[in-house]
Amino acid sequence: MAHHQWLSEGEKLWSSYPPNHIVSSLEHLTLEGTRDLRQLQSSLAADPAETSCSVSEAMSDPRETSEDQENSKRARLQCGDGRSDSFTRLPSYSCLIQEGWAETAAVASQLCNVQRQSRDLSARLADKIQEVHQTLSDGSELSVLSRAAFDAELRLVLLRGCQDALLQECRTLQAEAADRRQGMKFLQQQQQNIQDSFLLLEKKQEQIQVLIKATSFSKAQVRHNSGEVQKFVQERLLLRPLEVVQESQRLQDSVMKDLNHFTAISLPTLQKVTLHGVHQIPTQELSINRLSNPSFHLYPIYKALYSSIGLSLYKTPESILQHVADVKKHLLFLRAQLCSRSQATNKIHKQLRESQTPDINTLLDLLSAHYAQQTDQLVPKLQQIIEQCQKSQEYGKEVQAAVNDWWEQPAQQCLPWEQRGGQTLQQWRDRWTVAVTALQRASGGRS
């Protein structure tokens, strides 16, 4: 029953205070309980071994404290996020209590393990110190100096442990300070963004107010103008309907009279163009379509021209000009070719007329000398090429035998990625096939 009452009181407390305050209070109480336990343990330690144990605990305290602080920060962030989202998304009180008890049990179990390890290490250290003291208790000067050196070294180790613990705590504090500075910069940036947004909002509000004033002024102006228009219509137009009808009838009669006058006038006689400031030529005679009119006196010439150049009658004169220009260009090219050919033909005929009967014996002597020179130059080269081909065939047989021996080895299929001379087995095979084919073709051509 007491447990249910305690839960009901806790739920009342949870409903009356913010969640982050409750979590912070629980964390504070947990830290105070842990601190009291450590003080009680340090008060029970009286010998140097226990002192070293307390030093080791002090060395481990910053890490545990930093872990507790990180857990508290995480809890605060979770609570802050929950408050920013909505109160409906907050976890229940029972869940928070269970999570708190689970974390407390985990921390307590870790603390018990650490305390057990520290007690074991302290006992071992005390045994070692007692053993060393017993070894150096013969009263000689060397033993006294060794014992003093041992005590000094032990104090040095303890002080070094304290120094390491302080350095670790300093690093932790520096990291926390850097995190807080980063958070401060982020908050300052958010504050600046909020201020900029506020200034922008004020500016937009001022612009909206100006627009509202301008809109109201425009509405008032429209109302005033509409009133003036209505007044003008009522005073000037609605009072004289007969005069308006008479004026419109008069204008309509004048338009009909002008229309009757224009029906008796030929429109082509009015559409004339003045050329060179003197002649007035009808516009119809200047149209390009007059050429395709059968009644035009130049129509036969126009039709014959289109038939000769192979164009249709619907093509414009611009097309005729372009076609005629191309034909003229081609004609000039043919004339130039004909002129060049005539000049070359005349030159050849002139040379044939001027040339005498050729000396056949001299030509035969020159031809024989040329054949002898070619024989003297080409026979040694052919013999050298034949010798090279024979050597290449002999070397090819040796290479083929070596490749066949290597190809029959069982390990050549196991290493397809192996390269020799920058190429794989398949590439060497392809090259060998190409070389054999080329050699066979060369030998067949010589035979």
pLDDT at 416: 64
Q: Which residues pair with 275 in a beta bridge?
A: 279
pLDDT at 174: 93
pTM above threshold 0.85: no
Burial class (CB in 10 A: 0-12, 13-18, 19+), 20: middle
State how far the Cα of 38 lies from the Cα of 56, in Å rounded to an integer: 12
Q: 127: closest CA among 48, 68, 190, 185? A: 48
What long-range pairs does 382-389 form, CB within 8 A, spacing at least 24?
386/446, 389/442, 389/443, 389/446
CA distances 111 to 102, 106, 290, 432, Å, are 14, 8, 115, 78
Tokens of 176: 């926390």
> Which sign, positive or negative, has the C-alpha torsion 149, 52, 40, 168?
positive
Q: Where are the alpha helices (DSSP H) in 45-92?
A: 48-85
Given a cut of 70, the residues of the chain with pLDDT beneath it are: 1-4, 6-7, 10, 19-20, 41, 43-93, 237-241, 265-271, 273, 275-279, 281-293, 313-319, 321, 355-359, 403, 405-417, 445-447
Q: Under 8 Å CB-to-CB from 282, ≥6 apart: which residues?
A: 268, 269, 271, 272, 273
pLDDT at 292: 66
DSSP category for residue 66: H
pLDDT at 238: 66
pLDDT at 181: 92
Q: 309: closest CA among 325, 291, 287? A: 325
DSSP category for residue 420: B
Q: 27: closest CA among 104, 115, 111, 80? A: 104
The secondary structure element, H or E, covering residue 300 is: helix 299-309
Compute the mean pLDDT over every residue in the chain, rounded to the nearest whole number. Answer: 75
Tokens of 37: 């336990």
Tokens of 175: 């990291």
State how far the Cα of 162 lies from the Cα of 339, in Å rounded to an integer: 115
Tokens of 337: 């070719």
Maximum alpha-carbon separation in the chain: 158
Q: 281: closest CA among 269, 270, 272? A: 272
Tokens of 296: 């035009």
State how far the Cα of 185 lies from the Cα of 191, in Å rounded to an integer: 10
Amino acid at 304: A
Q: 57: closest CA among 161, 171, 152, 127? A: 161
